[in-house]
Amino acid sequence: MGRAGAVAATGPDAGTAAHYGSPTREQRALEAGSAVVDLSTRAVVTVSGPDRLNWLTTLSSQQVTDLRAGDCSELLLLDIAGRIEHAPAIVDDGETAWLITEASHGPALRQWLESMKFALRVEVAERTDDYAVLGSTAALPESLPSTPAAQWTDPWPQLGPGAESYAATEEADHPGKEFSWHLTLVPREQLDDAVTHLESQGWLLAGAMAAEALRIAAWRPRLAFDVDAKAIPHELDLIRTAVHLSKGCYKGQETIARVHNLGHPPRRLVFLHLDGSEHTLPAPGADVLAPATTADRAALAAERAVGVVTSVARHHEAGPIALALVKRKVDPEAALVVRDTAPAEADDAPQEQPAEPVFYAASQEVIVRPDAGKTVGRPQGDFLRGPRRQP
């Protein structure tokens, strides 16, 4: 944030720059592999000790027991109903497992892991004050002023062991197939030196807006934006990289298995191409509508929402784009509308003054297909009570 032109980011990326005065140039450089993003507010938690990988496997949705030094993965920690609580990236260096997560999740992740230690040989520590995270689409050069503590490469969207795709596209046609994302941990006290060195090598410093646009274009869910209190992995296509469907018991596994084998997720992630005629973008949390017919503004204002925008950005080629969670049964061919409630123009406007909605036409691309999962229902009667006898 001390660099010239820095414009502060808001929301989950607050504390870093949204951009440095040239968001389109920064995004193009990041896509080309010649820019680095300051993600120094991300939280870093370490787990060390000989039992660390077996222990994390028993707690999470992922099989990480056999991670070798330098191997990267991601895992989910779920509640008893299978809803996502934590989604850290993980890389092991042979002695320590490094977990990278959202700024708001670091303390809670550490505390939860501490509560689950029991008599195992593991040590948990939060290292956010010691290490800062840099993001890039290409691996950072080895000539950094100090050796990185760890480097994580995003597995998205390749299918991991024991995984399955919920996407509507063939793997060869997945828009994330060329997506490359790296997180590099550098000593926090040397963060500025590391960035200065990269700039001397021709790298550009890019803001969070650039990273978000590329992430959304690759259909890549993010914990801070696309996961709400009800989200389960199936809805976001996270079965492909964060869940091992054949691993042993863990909290939330019953929901994972039941939805995958017997049903369908209640919601599905979609990609939205937004109408670019507005000079603004809708905010995350804006309603998604599926009007049966072209309606006037009054009708749209009263329309019942079928989903919600979770992430939004302006892509340097595709224009305004978004991710949204919608009800599973929304017609994949339907033309959608995003309804955003604009704030009152004047700070001294009466509190009771209703906000004026702004509407954005949106065309959808199916990410999670409506029939993802298996056939709903049971072959004969009920597993517990058996078929009902005819009188």
Check which CATH number belongs to the domain holding 339 and give it.
Answer: 2.40.30.110
Whether 170 and 319 map to the same domain: the answer is no
Are 27 and 171 part of one and the same domain? yes
250 within some domain: no
In a domain, residue 276? The reply is yes
Nearest Cα to Cα of residue 113 among 51, 42, 188: 51
Q: In sequence order, which residues have a C-beta less than 8 Å from that of residue 349 and are 6 or more positions away?
A: none
Q: Identify whether residues 144 and 215 lie together within a single domain.
A: yes
pLDDT at 237: 98
Going residue by residue through the chain, which has 391 residues, state the pLDDT in tens, using 9 for 90 and above: 999 999 999 999 999 999 999 999 999 999 999 999 999 999 999 999 999 999 999 999 999 999 999 999 999 999 999 999 999 999 999 999 999 999 999 999 999 999 999 889 999 999 999 999 999 999 999 999 999 999 999 999 999 999 999 999 999 999 999 999 999 999 999 999 999 999 999 999 999 999 999 999 999 999 999 999 999 999 999 999 999 999 989 999 999 999 999 999 999 999 999 998 888 999 999 999 999 876 688 888 888 999 999 999 999 999 999 999 999 999 999 999 999 986 544 444 444 555 789 999 999 999 999 999 875 444 434 333 444 444 4
Query: Which residue among 218, 235, 252 closes a domain?
Result: 235
Residues 221 and 304 in one domain: no
**Same domain membership, residue 280 and residue 193:** no
- Confidence at residue 298, expressed as pLDDT on a 0 to 100 scale: 81
18/82 Cα distance (integer angstroms): 33
221 and 345 in a single domain? The answer is no
| Residue 343: predicted pLDDT | 53
Q: What pLDDT is stored for residue 277 in this prediction? A: 87
- 146 lies in a domain? yes
Q: 217 near 321, Cβ under 8 Å? A: yes
pLDDT computed for residue 301 by the predictor: 84
Residues 6 or more apart whose CB falls under 8 angstroms from that of 228 comprise 308, 310, 325
Are residues 101 and 33 part of one domain? yes
Asked if residue 24 belongs to a domain, the reply is yes
Say what the pLDDT of residue 27 is.
Answer: 98
Residue 386 lies in a domain: no
pLDDT at 278: 84
Q: Report the alpha-carbon distance of residue 376 to residue 147 in Å, rounded.
A: 52
* 209 is a domain residue: yes
Query: Are residues 49 and 143 located together in one domain of the fold?
Result: yes
Which residue, 214, 235, 256, sits at the end of a domain? Answer: 235
Domain that holds residue 332: 266-366
**98 and 194 both lie in a single domain:** yes
Q: What is the pLDDT of residue 119?
A: 85
- What pLDDT, on a 0 to 100 scale, did the predictor assign at position 74? 98
Q: Are 323 and 309 in contact (CB under 8 A)?
A: yes
Whether 102 and 46 map to the same domain: the answer is yes
- The answer on 283 and 224 residing in a single domain is no
Examine residue 293 and state whether it is found in any structural domain, yes or no: yes
Write down the pTM of the prediction.
Answer: 0.92
- Which pLDDT does position 354 carry in this prediction? 58
Are 219 and 314 part of one and the same domain? no
Domain of 108, CATH number, reads: 3.30.1360.120
Domain count, the chain: 2
For residue 220, is it within any domain? yes
The 3-class SS string of the chain reads CCCCCCEECCHHHECEEEECCCHHHHHHHHHCCCEEEECCCCEEEEEECCCHHHHHHHHCCCCCCCCCCCCEEECCEECCCCCEEECCEEEECCCEEEEEECHHHHHHHHHHHHHCCCCCCCEEEECCCCEEEEEECCCCCCCCCCCCCEEEECCCCCCCCCCCCCECCCHHHCCCCCCCCEEEEEEHHHHHHHHHHHHHCCCEEECHHHHHHHHHHCCCCCHHHHCCCCCCHHHHCCHHHHCCCCCCCCCCHHHHHHHHHHCCCCEEEEEEEECCCCCCCCCCCCEEECCCCCCCHHHHHHCCCCEEEEEEEEECCCEEEEEEEEECCCCCCCCEEEEEECCCCCCCCCCCCCCCEEEEEEEEEECECCCCCCCCCCCCCCCCCCCCCCC
